[in-house]
Structure 1
Amino acid sequence: MTTPPEICDTGCGLNATLRIISGKWKPLILFLLRDEPKRYGELKRLMQGVSDKVLIQQLKDLEADHVLARTDYQEVPPRVDYAVTPLGRSLAEAIVPLCTWGTENAVEMARIFAERDALP
């Protein structure tokens, strides 16, 4: 089996990974779903600032990439939840160190962002 070009262009799988998690909210979606399924409304509450249109599209993209599974329970009122697939779980676990890094460096990053935002 030959490795697809989008995986080996840089000598590692970073291109393929970035194709899946590209988008402002996709890494956060995966991080929030890593431990248990969540309904749309719960995700929306946890992700302050995301529009319905963007959240719906990013959920659809992640489902199309086979890292999320959408379960429709065919009930009235409608009940749907989202969960990571085994492939998605491994990707979500790879995101955890990035979260840790952000937490450990939050004060310095806030200072840097404030400086950057103050630039003309």
Structure 2
Amino acid sequence: MRAPVERALEVCPVEVAVSVLGGTWKLTIVKHLQDGPWRFNELRRLLPLAGRKTLTRQLRELEEDGVVARTDHETVPPRVDYELTALGHDLAPVVEAMNRWGADYAAALPPRG
């Protein structure tokens, strides 16, 4: 278990969720993986602003925390797939609610100009 998650366990469940899902791109990764498994470069195309190093780190943390499963097909060229675990799929209602709220919030903002 990652140290931040272990510390959060001593506080409250909300802190555990923030510890697991807080981080650049993690919720967006989970959102995209709801559609099924993706290869690393496919995820990079879905998240064009995410750097390779950041995306790799976030995927590793999500894997370590049991939200994402990584499958290495041990082929040449390398093929690695990422998909949600059962715990990851349990996040669907949370991600959908946050997506809806984010869209509503964006719509309520004054026009940028």
State the TM-score bracket (shorter-chain normalisation). 0.7 to 0.9
The normalised TM-score by structure 2 is 0.84
CA distance 1:93–1:35, shift in 2 (3 Å): farther
Q: Secondary structure at the match of 2:90?
A: helix
Question: Could you say which residue in structure 2 is the equivalent of 1:84?
Answer: 84
The answer as to whether partners of 2:72 and 2:80 remain within 8 angstroms in 1 is: yes
Aligned amino acid, residue 19 of structure 1: S
What number of residue pairs does the alignment pair up?
107
The answer as to whether partners of 1:67 and 1:84 remain within 8 angstroms in 2 is: yes
Question: Tell me, which stretches of 5 or more residues in structure 1 are unaligned?
Answer: 115-120
The answer to whether structure 1 residue 9 and structure 2 residue 7 are counterparts is no
d(CA) in 1 for partners of 2:82 and 2:44?
12
Question: Could you say which residue in structure 1 is the equivalent of 2:103?
Answer: 103
The normalised TM-score by structure 1 is 0.80
- Bigger Rg over Cα: 1
Question: Could you say which residue in structure 2 is the equivalent of 1:55?
Answer: 55
State the Cα deviation string for residues 18-53 of structure 1 (Å, max 9, x = none).
Answer: 000111210100111012000011100011211001
Question: Could you say which residue in structure 2 is the equivalent of 1:25?
Answer: 25
Question: Tell me, which stretches of 5 or more residues in structure 2 are unaligned?
Answer: 1-5
Deviation of 1:5 (Å) = 7.4
Deviation of 1:8 (Å) = 6.6
Identity of matched residues, %: 36
Cα root mean square deviation, aligned: 2.0
User: Following superposition, which runs of at least 4 residues in structure 1 exceed 2 angstroms of deviation?
Assistant: 4-10
d(CA) in 2 for partners of 1:5 and 1:40?
30
Q: Secondary structure at the match of 2:83?
A: strand
